[in-house]
Structure 1
């Protein structure tokens, strides 16, 4: 597999520092579909389980709807590169938006758990197509010289709906009911379809197709994905179990901590993007993992409000650095024809990591308690630090050289 930086379409102008401009018309158009898909997803993420429970499905049924959503998302991310190769990026992205939008519009037509689960399966598959096909297109619109900075900006644009959509969806349900919220989520996904004809297509899909299995076999691609999955696992633990790990009277503390985590991650992504473009993204993976581990160790002292907020903020900073550096590194190691596979593998690492973390930590915490569970999570991150060390530029070059000698 090609492991050099792929050539990107030449920019028509250069900025004041001689670098191509970061924001172009195609990227602005892509922001529309990115924001719409993310808003649609997060508006209903907490609302659908509420609707399932309201419809008589109970807590188990409510949990099953979220499980179906994430299962379909991961499955869709696995097959998305093949669909992109057949129908193109715009075709796959458009299909994903439709699969998210139409089921949202008809969510409240029926109230049975089977119907709600089908809606979740369709939306999960649609979301997978939007993040994989859309992510590959987005990477193609960013100049390679500013890839880290551009991906950081992309992370902020796609992250805003998650910060606003989760609480907004629940609030709107209490004020307006389920049907209007479902309709709003449907419109958020379907309206951006009008922006797709303005997105360039053909020049970004030429070249040998790199399948998901090819990416898994190539350590230059799979190793950063695995490293990111470990921090995503910890992120799933923080979001799911922090409210349970601190005293119930500390609702304000939990809210503050859960805001500090994504806020720290967003700022860290922007800083990591600029540093990565200048120093190399591979140099930032190890510090990001180390900060993530330190943050989890601090968070383990759940009896201290200062420790909880500080620990989650430090973890969020490390998570943001790891987010941006790993995906930047993965894109830099494939040709443009492999962007879809990179997007799929990175998003699989994200979604599967968060899901596995939430499930496994619940079992662990019942045995050892929440503080020791956080310590074990930090220790797990520490265990992968040697792998990040081996992925540094000089170390990876020696590793590839030794592998070439052995293959002779």
Structure 2
């Protein structure tokens, strides 16, 4: 994995880019609230950012095929950071939303490019660990910069945070120039049977996408409102824990995302930890909801954050690997785009809709709604696991086809019986 050309440069660039993103993620909504803005506007800053991100992600695979990874990623890192200077001049609703949208364009192109590029550079047998290591660098960046943004803003003012976010994104742009010149593989039209043509891409990636979305919607609420909820629950201790609790969430996500990648590489297929992770995430959000509603100890929120963060990291990796596993290798950029759209649209929709819920039903209502969404994702994933035993993936899935042949099916069952006898 480490010998793959450009892999380390990708990791450093991604860490810097996510550092810029994490630095400003909780700061911008808090700045809006401190400026007298409503919870809906505060949530909309993340929502419009993610809306621009998702729109950009739709067109990024075509740009990667035509222009290449390096120029797209360098431009994306520039757009992610430099417009943040605009927050210095105003955080009124229209200016703050325009700047957030511009930054979202850069974030959208960057997130698609980095996931797809890892799949291009790293051999398939190391893809689980490589994707997990990507999560490690993202998680470390979030652990460092999520609390740092809040701490620096409280100590030196938000303008310092905006400038620092721009500088860190420029570091990412410079590192992108050290990545080998690679273009995404051109679309191919393989000769396939009518049965294979009938298997649409969306059928193969829909449930993994919704699994990510169900947790990323709640993550939108966690990133936007959990610091404020902690301070509201315990004004004294909460001020110190507000940033740390986001760092804990990111750290838990980092560790368990890598762990799921190791398990996937050892088993040769993804999906082993998907449903258990979703259940743990659901229970973590329920704990956060009840703690806020009942006014229990703020320390219980840390346990809930660890549970949710770890579950979110595992689901992220499992969903991405499932898409790579189900689609041809020539379509890794499309798989990355779909995964990122699911992730970022969920974060944006969650921040916006759950922000409206928070304005009406307080923070406990917002997190409770997020728990319901995760429960819906568990139902879908469980149904997909049952149906998946009979799924034929889009191209060249010999194993799936053999299961449809009676002779082969009986032979496989006989082999399993002999193994049990041993």
Counterpart of 1:301 (choices 267, 270, 290) is 290
What's the counterpart of residue 398 of structure 1? 390
Q: Are 2:129 and 2:258, in contact at CA under 8 Å, matched by a contact in 1?
A: yes
Matched, 1:327 2:331: no
**Which stretch of the first structure deviates more once superposed, 280-289 or 22-31?**
22-31
Aligned residues: 377
What's the counterpart of residue 38 of structure 1? 18
**Which stretch of the first structure deviates more once superposed, 88-97 or 233-242?**
233-242
What's the counterpart of residue 417 of structure 2? none
What's the counterpart of residue 411 of structure 2? none
Q: Are 1:206 and 1:337, in contact at CA under 8 Å, matched by a contact in 2?
A: yes
Q: Are 1:100 and 1:123, in contact at CA under 8 Å, matched by a contact in 2?
A: yes
> How do residues 5-404 of structure 1 correspond to structure 2 at under 5 angstroms?
21-22=1-2, 24-48=4-28, 58-59=37-38, 65-104=45-84, 108=88, 110-111=89-90, 113=92, 115-173=95-153, 180-202=160-182, 204-208=184-188, 217-242=201-226, 243-244=228-229, 247-249=233-235, 251=238, 257-279=245-267, 280-302=269-291, 303=294, 304-305=296-297, 307-364=300-357, 374-375=367-368, 377-392=370-385, 395-400=387-392
Q: CA deviation at 1:219?
A: 1.8
- Cα deviation digits, residues 303-351 of structure 1 (max 9, x gap): 4436443333222222221111111111222234322222222222222
- Cα deviation digits, residues 227-286 of structure 1 (max 9, x gap): 111111222233444443872445166666544432322221121111111123122211
Q: CA deviation at 1:92?
A: 1.6
Q: CA deviation at 1:81?
A: 1.9
Q: Are 1:301 and 1:307, in contact at CA under 8 Å, matched by a contact in 2?
A: no
Q: Are 2:139 and 2:251, in contact at CA under 8 Å, matched by a contact in 1?
A: no
Q: 1:179 to 1:375 in 2, by over 3 A?
A: closer
**Which stretch of the first structure deviates more once superposed, 160-169 or 125-134?**
160-169
Q: Are 1:233 and 1:357, in contact at CA under 8 Å, matched by a contact in 2?
A: yes
In 2, Cα distance between equivalents of 1:191 and 1:278: 35
In 2, Cα distance between equivalents of 1:253 and 1:77: 34
In 2, Cα distance between equivalents of 1:366 and 1:115: 22
Secondary structure of 1:208 counterpart: coil
Q: Are 1:272 and 1:321, in contact at CA under 8 Å, matched by a contact in 2?
A: yes
What's the counterpart of residue 17 of structure 1? none
Secondary structure of 2:180 counterpart: coil
Q: CA deviation at 1:124?
A: 1.2
Q: CA deviation at 1:105?
A: 5.3
In 1, Cα distance between equivalents of 2:149 and 2:326: 39
Q: 1:387 to 1:337 in 2, by over 3 A?
A: same
TM-score between both structures, scaled by the size of structure 2: 0.75
Q: 1:86 to 1:102 in 2, by over 3 A?
A: same
Q: CA deviation at 1:75?
A: 1.8
Q: CA deviation at 1:27?
A: 0.5
Q: 1:389 to 1:348 in 2, by over 3 A?
A: same
Q: 1:247 to 1:341 in 2, by over 3 A?
A: same
Q: Are 2:47 and 2:352, in contact at CA under 8 Å, matched by a contact in 1?
A: no
Q: CA deviation at 1:37?
A: 1.5
In 2, Cα distance between equivalents of 1:63 and 1:370: 12
What's the counterpart of residue 10 of structure 1? none
Q: 1:216 to 1:367 in 2, by over 3 A?
A: farther
In 2, Cα distance between equivalents of 1:368 and 1:174: 28
CA RMSD, 1 decimal = 3.6
Q: Are 1:22 and 1:146, in contact at CA under 8 Å, matched by a contact in 2?
A: no
